[in-house]
């Protein structure tokens, strides 16, 4: 079902051919992101992602967009903590030109002083925007508590100070050390053969040799640092983010944790949605999520709460977490969580874009592609008691961190500190 080739320069090519599709989704992944940056260049990976759309050796900014959008395709990119991806979905007839555009952006960007100065203002406004949105700002503050004094806790976009100091030369240096063939994966899904994809990659990238890329700074928890942070803002709603260390990409307990996430706050049937919103009307929005990275992870619960009821909401959340640690989950919850998780996987992989992301990310993380059957079997093997053990491992009160943004009053802060212990 999946095929993989490695070119002489180390570039990995992975594909899934689906002949009955009319589209092809293509992604060029670079194994770099926010955690690969020192304080002096914080925000460089995200800044560089923006700059690559400004022009390359062969294509101007307008031509990059027109070559793909002009044939009905879509073009995008994203930067995460450990990866940056440039992606497009186009009618299969136009995949060759689309790859040429993406590859020229990635390998031969035009990083000009003029473009960097223009885009700096855009990124500074982006930072302000997220700072002004409490539902995003509260998570950024939580991550600062979870990963203190580490690139993971310092924001993907960087700060106003760090972005202001990024020059075109610093971005060129970051590109030179990170965007090298042996740190890159090309993934594609849809109506394209693997050999055709390999031929495109070899023709475009054979002139670029492998190199030595900057490794990520490992994270080692000291257990020290602040456990809570409160930001007073005169807004209409209180926003909280409760976090605790999760599991990394390679942890054998991650499948049990994913099932636990579904039960806790992964959908509208979850415990927190039912207890906090449906039964008590304390919040409009409440959910949980689990993030895995190479050597660490994060389990987070987020909620937007009526201002006077934040203490009550947090108390209910902590009670539910404690209840799961003590009693586990019910057989019906366990069955529903498995069906939901496997069903979401099946539905997602029907789309060529989602499937391209699946095989590309898997190759970047593990240097191999996890098959759907492999993941389904791993989920099937999880026992109900494994979920309780995952909860006991993750939901440890002394490891919990809390960020709150809103019109918090001194009495509420005292009550919350007392609840958190």
Distances in Å between the Cα of 11 and the Cα atoms of 77, 176, 209, 418 are 19, 15, 9, 53
Given a contact cutoff of 8 angstroms between Cβ atoms, the answer to whether 321 and 265 are in contact is: no
Distance from C-alpha of 266 to C-alpha of 260, rounded to nearest angstrom: 9
Question: Residue 23: phi, psi to the nearest 5?
Answer: -115, 165
Q: Which of 17, 37, 40, 49 is catalytic?
A: 49
Distances in Å between the Cα of 270 and the Cα atoms of 115, 253, 386 are 47, 20, 18
Given a contact cutoff of 8 angstroms between Cβ atoms, the answer to whether 56 and 105 are in contact is: yes
- Closest by CA to 187, choosing from 85, 92, 112, 273, is 85
Active site residue 278: no
Distance from C-alpha of 401 to C-alpha of 417, rounded to nearest angstrom: 11
Name the one residue in this structure whose structure tokens are 């709150």: 404
Question: Is 402 buried (19+), middle (13-18) or exposed (0-12) by CB count in 10 A?
Answer: buried
The b/e string for 235-249 (b: 16+ C-beta within 10 A; e otherwise) is eebbbbbbbbbbbeb
Give the CA count within 13 Å in the CB-facing half-sphere of 327.
Answer: 9
Residue 154: CB atoms within 10 A of its CB come to 22
**Total number of residues shown for the chain:** 421
Distance from C-alpha of 45 to C-alpha of 41, rounded to nearest angstrom: 9
Distance from C-alpha of 223 to C-alpha of 408, rounded to nearest angstrom: 26
Q: Is 189 left (phi over 0), alpha (psi -120 to 50) or beta?
A: beta
Q: Which residues are catalytic?
A: 49
């Amino acid at each position: 079902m999946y095929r993989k080739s490695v070119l002489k320069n180390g570039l990995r090519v992975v594909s899934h051919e689906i002949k009955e599709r009319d589209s092809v989704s293509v992604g060029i992944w670079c194994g770099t992101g926010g955690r690969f940056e020192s304080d002096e260049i914080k925000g460089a990976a995200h800044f560089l992602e923006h700059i690559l759309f400004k022009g390359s050796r062969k294509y101007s900014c307008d031509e990059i967009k027109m070559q793909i959008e002009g044939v009905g395709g879509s073009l995008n990119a994203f930067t995460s903590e450990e990866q940056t991806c440039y992606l497009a979905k186009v009618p299969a007839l136009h995949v060759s030109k689309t790859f040429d555009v993406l590859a020229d952006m990635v390998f031969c960007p035009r990083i000009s002083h003029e473009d960097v100065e223009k885009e700096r203002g855009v990124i500074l406004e982006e930072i302000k925007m997220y700072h002004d949105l409490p539902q995003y700002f509260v998570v950024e503050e939580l991550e600062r508590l979870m990963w203190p004094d580490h690139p993971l806790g310092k924001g993907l976009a960087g700060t106003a100070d760090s972005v202001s100091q990024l020059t075109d030369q610093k971005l060129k240096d970051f590109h030179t050390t990170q965007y090298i063939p042996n740190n890159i994966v090309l993934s594609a899904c849809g109506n394209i053969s693997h050999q055709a994809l390999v031929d495109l990659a070899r023709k475009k990238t054979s002139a670029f040799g492998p190199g030595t890329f900057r490794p990520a700074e490992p994270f080692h928890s000291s257990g020290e640092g602040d456990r809570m942070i409160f930001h007073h803002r005169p807004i209409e709603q209180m926003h909280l983010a409760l976090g605790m260390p999760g599991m990394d990409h390679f942890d054998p307990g991650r499948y049990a944790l994913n099932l636990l996430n579904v039960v806790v706050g992964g959908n509208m049937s979850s415990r927190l949605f039912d207890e906090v919103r449906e039964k008590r009307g304390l919040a409009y929005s409440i959910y949980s999520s689990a993030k895995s990275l190479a050597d660490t992870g994060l389990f987070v619960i987020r909620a937007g709460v009526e201002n006077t009821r934040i203490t009550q909401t947090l108390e209910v959340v902590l009670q539910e977490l404690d209840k799961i640690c003590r009693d586990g989950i019910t057989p019906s919850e366990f069955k529903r969580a498995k069906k939901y998780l496997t069903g979401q996987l099946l539905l997602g992989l029907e789309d060529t874009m989602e499937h391209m992301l699946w095989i590309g990310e898997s190759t970047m993380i593990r240097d191999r592609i996890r098959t759907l059957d492999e993941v389904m079997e791993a989920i099937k093997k999880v026992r109900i008691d494994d979920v309780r053990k995952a909860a006991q491992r993750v939901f440890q009160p002394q490891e919990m961190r809390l960020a709150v943004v809103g019109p918090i009053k001194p009495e509420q802060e005292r009550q919350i500190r007392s609840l958190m212990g």
